[in-house]
Chains A and B, each alone.
Chain A
Amino acid sequence: MDLTRDDLISYLREEQNIDDPIEGGTELFSSGLLDSVSMVGLITFIEERTGSVISAADVTLENFDTVDRILDHVAGLD
């Protein structure tokens, strides 16, 4: 299944309660907007949507800190 930009942003707004505007490059974790516990929920959401398993070693800021990076990373998964 696909994960669209709109899905991801509405997940972040509704499930993670982010009130501030979210752009493709908004830093989610390094800025402190979300904490590491939110990451767990985000990973579960992505795994459910895409049917992929994300390994702990891939859960980095480089892959998950912004909406753009998440979509790029997910696009590269099997």
Chain B
Amino acid sequence: MSKDFDRCMWPLLADNLPERSGKIAAIDSNRRATYAELVAEAGRVADRLSAQGVGRGDRVIVHLRKGIDEVAAMFGAWKIGAVVVNVNTRWTAQQLAYVAGDCRARAVILSRAAMKGLTGASTLAPGTVFMVQGEAAGPAQGAAPRVGLSPAADAAPDEISPHDLAMIIYTSGSTGAPKGVMLSHRNIRIGAISVAEYLKLTEDDRLLSVLPYSFDAGLNQLTTMMLVGGTIVHQPLTMPAEVMRMAQAEGVTGIAGVPPLWNQIVRMLADSPMALPDLRLVTNTGGKIPPNILDLMPRVFPGVEIYLMYGLTEAFRSTYLAPERFERKKGSIGQQIPNARIFAIAHGKGIAGPGEQGELVHAGPLVSMGYWERPELTAQKMRPCPELAHLIGAEPVVYSGDLVRVDEDGDLWFVSRMDEMIKTLGFRLSPTEVEDALSQSGLVTDVVAFGVEDDDHGQVVHAAVTYLPEASASGLAVHCARAMPHYMRPQRIHAWDGPMPRTASGKLDRPAIIAATKVATNSMQ
């Protein structure tokens, strides 16, 4: 694999030729594509975009279900130097229209069904180029549009700088409209190189892709496989039984997930074990797995390396806990990944040492280009860190907004989002601590704890939980009284009917869950 940082996204795929022309690059449930076929398919997308006048720097929305078509669309756009904006198919037509307007998309690649939704208030700007999946799959109809294409089309990749904008990842924050994080070709490539290095990925690996490509952690399964010449196996469905059936059938060597998915998969495998002889590693990102599920993981994945990771979209990927430390440190997010510099900063004091807490900040070449057309927000989130001036000068770092604890080995433990810390009875309490303690009861699946303003106590702890079928509220109350110190016990536990809502990336949608719980509480009072 090429460890050259200064290359673009198109060669990430195309460099696999001619050596791996006949090797399977990507697998869908109903078809497979070799590297040569994937390069050709992406090339056709590139030609069609060029023929419609789409070029370098233009934003191209890719809004397709997980699969080979989606990969070809993304690399096709990258081939001509366009900027990929992958909008998850779980987002509504209205959200898609918002993103298209915000990034002033020049082209949208989507399914016929999604196209039908773009009417009324969700109509896109006149002049937007549409490419509908499965239609006119060959080069653009008619030869005329190729005018002015060659030789520029083939020369284009050389003109694209690795420092150019490659992708905008939109994240829906807890408040306000979705905002776009800008990643350069270099950011994404170094992300792939860094992750492939610590996961020790090789061309023999076959990673399962369940997480969406619109999510930085999901994109990494694809980019690492293209970097090392491995195989990506697509599973658009997140039903645990289907995820694991596909993993088994295709002999995948690695699976990347987020906590709600691992929660379901691990529980299922604990009840119905499954032989997975080819599986070498599993990874988690996007939050903390409940402790009772972490305990089960080595049992349901015997001999499999378990990596706990942490990343910020604004800096792509940040830390990981090496699998050999899992047993002793499970729950920790470990230390900086290769090519990242991660610090915990006690504001106004300095770098947090062992036993101390601080805000996680990220420096180095993975730091993104900021937010699309939001300079004030960029300046607020990415700025020089006075506590690090003696080490890195005025180089901007990403302020994560996440509070972490540093242990005696320098490993980091996620404490809380800084704005979610609960201040109750003079204690500063992390919702994660409350959630972990409630999960330890073994009576609940999804758990979200939060602070509610209270005249007497500053804040009081509330929690929303989804009970397991056999569990009861009184059983959980007994557990709380036995296992939790008084200040940590939720004053109210709200029973949530069924699984809690997820974001498009599969993480628990905490702001939505907290808001819905508060509304339900207020309407009862």
Contact = CB atoms under 8 A, between A and B. Distances in A.
Interface in A37-57: 37, 39-41, 44, 53, 55-57
B318 to A, nearest CB: 28
Given A40-B498, A56-B241, A35 B90 contact: yes
Interface string B223-248: 00000000000001111111001000
B509 to A, nearest CB: 11
A44 B469 contact: no
B99 to A, nearest CB: 19
B264 interface: yes
A10 interface: no
B67 to A, nearest CB: 9
Q: Is the interface of B mostly helix, strand, loop or mixed?
A: loop
Interface residues of A, number: 18
A55 B267 CA distance: 10
A78 interface: no
Contacts of A53: 469
A59 B29 contact: no
A55 B89 CA distance: 27
B498 A32 contact: no
A35 B90 CA distance: 8
Contacts of A30: 29, 237
B65 interface: yes
Q: Is the interface of A mostly helix, strand, loop or mixed?
A: helix
Nearest to B264: A56
Given A35-B90, A37-B502, A40-B498, A57 B241 contact: yes
A37 B212 CA distance: 14
Contact of A57 (B111, B271, B498): B271
A32 B111 CA distance: 10
B271 A35 contact: no
A14 interface: no
B495 to A, nearest CB: 14
B29 A56 contact: no
Contacts of A59: 239-242
Nearest to B241: A60
Contacts of B237: 29-30, 35-36, 39, 61
Contacts of B245: 60
B174 interface: no
B156 interface: no
Which 4 residue pairs spanning A and B have beta carbons closest together?
A36-B238, A56-B268, A57-B272, A60-B241
30 contacts: A29-B237, A29-B239, A30-B237, A32-B65, A32-B89, A32-B113, A35-B89, A35-B90, A35-B236, A36-B238, A37-B90, A37-B502, A39-B237, A39-B239, A40-B499, A41-B498, A44-B497, A55-B268, A55-B272, A56-B239, A57-B240, A57-B241, A57-B268, A57-B272, A58-B241, A59-B239, A59-B242, A60-B241, A60-B245, A61-B237
